[in-house]
Structure 1
Amino acid sequence: MKIVKKITLVLTTILLSACSVEDPYETGPTQSQQQEQAAQDKENAQSVTFTVTIKDATGVIVKNATLNISGTTYTSDDLGRVPLPDLPQGNYTISVNKPGFQSYLTTLQIDDETESFDLNIESKPSQSVSLFFAGDTMFGRRYMDQSLITMGNFLPDVEDALIRASSAAENAIALTQHVKPLVQSADFASVNLETPILSIPVSVHPTKEFAFFSLPETLQGLTEIGVDYVALGNNHVYDYLQNGLDDTLKYVTEAGLLHSGAGNNDSEAFAPLITTVNGLTVGIISATSITGEDNPIDYIASGQKGGAADLTDTASVISAMESTIAQSDYAVAQLHGGDEYSYAPTRYISNRFDVLGAESPDLMIAHHPHVAQGFGLINGTPALLGLGNFVFEQNRIETLLGVAVIVEVDPSLEPKTKSARAYPIYLEDYQPKLVTGFLSDYLIRRLGEFSDSNVAVIPKQGFAEVLFAQTVSPTASPPVQVTLPAGQHIVDLRAYAPSDAFLTSIQSSESVDMRMGRDLMLFGDFEDWDNDDEFGEVSRWENDSDNITPCLTGAYRGRQGMCLVRTQFDNRPLRMPFKHTIRTMPITPGDSTLLAYHDMSLYGYSKGENAGALSAEMSILTSEDNLVFSEQTLQIKAEGNYDWQTFEHSFSLPEDSNVIGPENLPARAVKLTFLHSPPADGEATLMLDDIALISWQKDIILTDGAWAQNTMHGMDFLQVNSQKDVTISLTFSSFQ
């Protein structure tokens, strides 16, 4: 086992020193910084040359296929080969197209270990159509002013904003550029447009807590990448009342976008969009269960009032579904509802799935929770249970990974959709990007965990293959042995298997207590997995200082870690906050999000070269309003020289009976800042890597010393508590 030493943590009160002796930057680069710069220069001077061979699903060579990478298009030769010379190291999205085949798109990391490889593309029947669906989308609020929580009757104009009124079209096009290859790979593309479209905001809803609008020019951020349709049946389309709805319908239509789900009365709102895609008639209804009934002015359409289609109106939504089925070859229902920040459908949205599923549409889709959920099969209808965000600007860490899905439609089959491809969407500083590696696998394994048992979710490079009404058994790898002394230990499962694998079997030599945990931090590996043009950036940590940088020389695993470099000539600690409040996860599956997991552990790896003391400030907060339950400083590691060692601190959130604030809120969140104190003398380098905030979620019950579960999950940690020395055998599985 790689763990070198378990570090005991001691709680102390926070001590902040404001006295500075000397600016440490005046001393110039330290020796470790010079070594890191040399490593960076060496990597930047390297390029990668390899060959992609394109084959069909049976392994037959495919010639004259087009391959696009980094804006350059190549054609496969008579042997299916595409030589790719002199590529800088980085993350790349590769798309492959050929008539008679499904479009293929993958994102992968190319480095000095990349070797030539094959890409297998699937044949596509002539009558087959591909449909793209993505989640919550808007171009307002923090895109225009990062300080905004809601919007009013004014037009923000902030100099450094991602979107400004004077350049809104250009800004929106730049914002969506990295997902353009994905959207354009489908025959038809849909998003949930969760915003009114206004040029001048004058009629904001008087009592709504959160109101948004986006400028008409920003719709080019959708049309330029190939979006064809927007769902309007959501709880924000009426944020600016009837004036805003009128403008929205006008500007969306002028932009050439098809739509359904909202109108000037309930008949218009429930009317399906009927369109033809490559000879296939597609019908789409869109409706929301968030009606605003607690407000004097609700959000839904009625006989003489505009708004969104009302998903709670069972008779009307069934009638709309029946009408859509009657008018189309392929009927789609988009449901906007469920509990925000839930990881699986909760009680009411599950009921709506059942109600509409009884009508046997061809596909059902849900959005609103802002968190990507799994996949289902409801009364034989494939269901995308929750898409999460697509173009959105929330700060909550659980909203940063959405999913976009391309479903394959073959009208000659029953059901017409048997498979789909799911692409994780990472909102890095509010900009949607495709991802690969751990970040992609992390989300895909979680989606598989919370999908129905009759749906197979199979991780690939930067996407998942989703097979409805099918089960696929994973392949087990040879078991690994881990020996632990008596006591309580955390086993980092990431050390023993690739990120697309998952623990499926445990055997223990002794009677032990075990439970599995999930990392809620996501970004403690300090790696760069997204497909933008910058390679190696780390954006979820405050590392603006030249002395806190991602470093090749400071990696415990993977490509890079984080280096905190300093001298003794400043008696203030070097501070590295994690940007986000990390909220605990609601117990999932569950009827609501009210109950949550409480037991947690901070875990990670550190290495010191004449390092100062390592500590962490930890605050326990409410999920909303950031009300503080407690603040403490964890003394993690004393100063000195040491090789890579683990550190851990286990704790529990206060019981739910302990509440604070006028709304009686329980503890639901954690804030973290790491500190590197000055050394006794000289230059100090502290390296951190693979940090996690673990939520303990699943007890492991051994039967005759063994446990087995052959389904995918997203838990990467095992806690073992034994009265004796124990050897455990771990078996991991993956889809080959």
Structure 2
Amino acid sequence: MAEIHVFLCGDVMTGRGIDQILPFPSDRRLHEPYVEDALDYVALAERRSGPLPRPFAFSYVWGDALGEWAARAPDVRLVNLETSVTTSDEAWPKGINYRMHPKNVPCLLAAQIDGCCLANNHVLDWGRAGLLETLDTLRGAGVATAGAGRDLDEAEAPAIFEVPGRGRVLVFSFSEPTSGSPRAWAAGAHEPGLAVLEDLGPQTARRVAARVSAWKRAGDVVITSIHWGGNWGYEVPREQATFARALIDEAGVDVVHGHSSHHPKGIEVHAGKPILYGCGDFLDDYEGIKGHESYRGDLTLMYFVRLDAPSGRLIELRMVPLRIHRFRLNHVAHADARWLAETLHHEGQRFGTEVVLDEDDTLLLRWTP
């Protein structure tokens, strides 16, 4: 059986505090209601976990994830990059603005990231000039992008990855306003911006289906990455579930890759295709910030998805639990892995899925075909 093996994760936020501990920190000034200096987020983490020597090597933040990638060798590594990569000072007046200095893009290269989904509520934080610099920087570094562009056609075009001898992986990226993405960020016929879903109704699903069919060839695996919903809570709105299933049934999508929640959410398998309703933050600078502790936002997951190459059907979904500590991804204690497995098992029951803890403390999805 020919397989395509894809790595997915939730939000990767290499801006703000994390940017400050990398070799080329951006201007520290912020425009937040209560925090004016990005180094304050570093100080919060140090208060919680002890001193952080600076600057770190570009590979530091990935920590134990590097060994997992090397051992599991996915064909494609895909992240939702929730930060602008720019020196622009054109802060969008939205209160919280993330950016990473373009000279820190080797941080992404250290993880061998193949593609970045950009349709989210932070990639335009530093204006359209910042978005254009983000696109130029990533593409100049050899990192593919989806979900943002110089015009609507480019924003809605997929990132395409060739897997030699097995086919192509097409990645479409969209943002939905419930995630906090301003509608004004939508790309236009001649204006840079994001691929924004007007809503999650049937007409929008048909529009996405038309976009997918314009690109998809027989044997292609299609991933649709969507930034939707709020940051906290396990509820999956009915309109999200209906929309995700419609993408599979009508648009020929093989994986729905949802994100925006700061913690992992339940998983569904519909018609043999996985729906990840919320992958949680993968890397952020929230260490030391109080509130929502019951969701264990410091725990994160690496999603390794094995798909049948001709049909796109799910063969295996294995998740590796990690913990963000000292701005680094670390292996977790057994108790933390068990907590994640039990939480996702509980949240998956409404969708007919089970999550079990394997002997190596990885999480394995089970479903009824």
**In structure 2, what residue type is equivalent to 1:138?**
M
> Contact 2:121 / 2:180 at 8 angstroms: preserved in 1?
no
Q: Distance in 2 between matches of 1:286 and 1:294?
A: 13
> Contact 1:321 / 1:333 at 8 angstroms: preserved in 2?
no
> Contact 1:390 / 1:403 at 8 angstroms: preserved in 2?
yes
TM-score (norm 2): 0.81
CA-CA distance at 1:379 after TM superposition: 4.4
> Contact 1:144 / 1:157 at 8 angstroms: preserved in 2?
no
- Please name the residue that 1:192 is paired with: 80
1:310 has 2:186 as partner: no
- Please name the residue that 2:324 is paired with: 427
- Please name the residue that 2:314 is paired with: 417
How many residue pairs get aligned? The number is 335
Q: Distance in 2 between matches of 1:327 and 1:310?
A: 27
For residues 523-602 of structure 1, the aligned pairs below 5 Å read: none
Q: Distance in 2 between matches of 1:190 and 1:139?
A: 15
Q: Distance in 2 between matches of 1:351 and 1:151?
A: 36
1:131 has 2:28 as partner: no
Partner SS, residue 285 of structure 2: coil
Partner SS, residue 246 of structure 1: helix
> Contact 1:245 / 1:307 at 8 angstroms: preserved in 2?
yes
- Please name the residue that 2:16 is paired with: 141
> Contact 2:176 / 2:228 at 8 angstroms: preserved in 1?
yes
> Once the two structures are aligned, what percentage of the paired residues are identical?
22
1:203 has 2:90 as partner: yes
> Contact 1:155 / 1:201 at 8 angstroms: preserved in 2?
no
Q: Distance in 2 between matches of 1:319 and 1:291?
A: 23
Return closer, same or farther for 1:253/1:178 CA change in 2, 3 Å cut-off: same
Q: Distance in 2 between matches of 1:423 and 1:182?
A: 8
Give deviations 1:236-269, integer Å, cap 9, x for gaps. Answer: 1111111001110011112211111101221111
Which of 246, 263, 284 lines up with 1:392 in the alignment? 284
Q: Distance in 2 between matches of 1:160 and 1:193?
A: 20
Asked which structure has the greater RCO (Cα within 8 Å, sep 6+), the reply is: 2
CA-CA distance at 1:307 after TM superposition: 1.5
**In structure 1, what residue type is equivalent to 2:196?**
D
Structure 1 residues not aligned, in runs of 5+:
1-124, 471-736
- Please name the residue that 2:336 is paired with: 439
CA-CA distance at 1:426 after TM superposition: 1.4
CA-CA distance at 1:381 after TM superposition: 2.3
Structure 2 residues not aligned, in runs of 5+:
22-27, 46-53
- Please name the residue that 1:698 is paired with: none
Q: Distance in 1 between matches of 2:234 and 2:57?
A: 31
CA-CA distance at 1:128 after TM superposition: 2.0
- Please name the residue that 1:361 is paired with: 253
For residues 336-355 of structure 1, the aligned pairs below 5 Å read: 336-355=227-246
Which of 219, 230, 247 lines up with 2:105 in the alignment? 219
> Contact 1:283 / 1:327 at 8 angstroms: preserved in 2?
no
Greater strand fraction, Structure 1 or Structure 2: 1
> Contact 2:120 / 2:181 at 8 angstroms: preserved in 1?
no
TM-score (norm 1): 0.42
Return closer, same or farther for 1:324/1:446 CA change in 2, 3 Å cut-off: farther
Q: Distance in 1 between matches of 2:135 and 2:210?
A: 23
Partner SS, residue 225 of structure 2: strand
Give deviations 1:3-44, integer Å, cap 9, x for gaps. Answer: xxxxxxxxxxxxxxxxxxxxxxxxxxxxxxxxxxxxxxxxxx
Return closer, same or farther for 1:446/1:148 CA change in 2, 3 Å cut-off: farther
Q: Distance in 2 between matches of 1:244 and 1:433?
A: 31
- Please name the residue that 1:231 is paired with: 117
Return closer, same or farther for 1:130/1:341 CA change in 2, 3 Å cut-off: same
CA-CA distance at 1:144 after TM superposition: 4.8
Q: Distance in 1 between matches of 2:365 and 2:261?
A: 21
> Contact 2:119 / 2:146 at 8 angstroms: preserved in 1?
yes
CA-CA distance at 1:290 after TM superposition: 2.3
> Contact 2:121 / 2:181 at 8 angstroms: preserved in 1?
no
Q: Distance in 2 between matches of 1:183 and 1:434?
A: 13
Give deviations 1:459-493, integer Å, cap 9, x for gaps. Answer: 113211113435xxxxxxxxxxxxxxxxxxxxxxx
RMSD: 3.0
Give deviations 1:557-608, integer Å, cap 9, x for gaps. Answer: xxxxxxxxxxxxxxxxxxxxxxxxxxxxxxxxxxxxxxxxxxxxxxxxxxxx
For residues 472-551 of structure 1, the aligned pairs below 5 Å read: none
- Please name the residue that 2:224 is paired with: 333
Q: Which has the larger radius of gyration?
A: 1
**In structure 1, what residue type is equivalent to 2:157?**
A
> Contact 2:17 / 2:38 at 8 angstroms: preserved in 1?
no
CA-CA distance at 1:332 after TM superposition: 0.7
Q: Distance in 2 between matches of 1:445 and 1:149?
A: 38
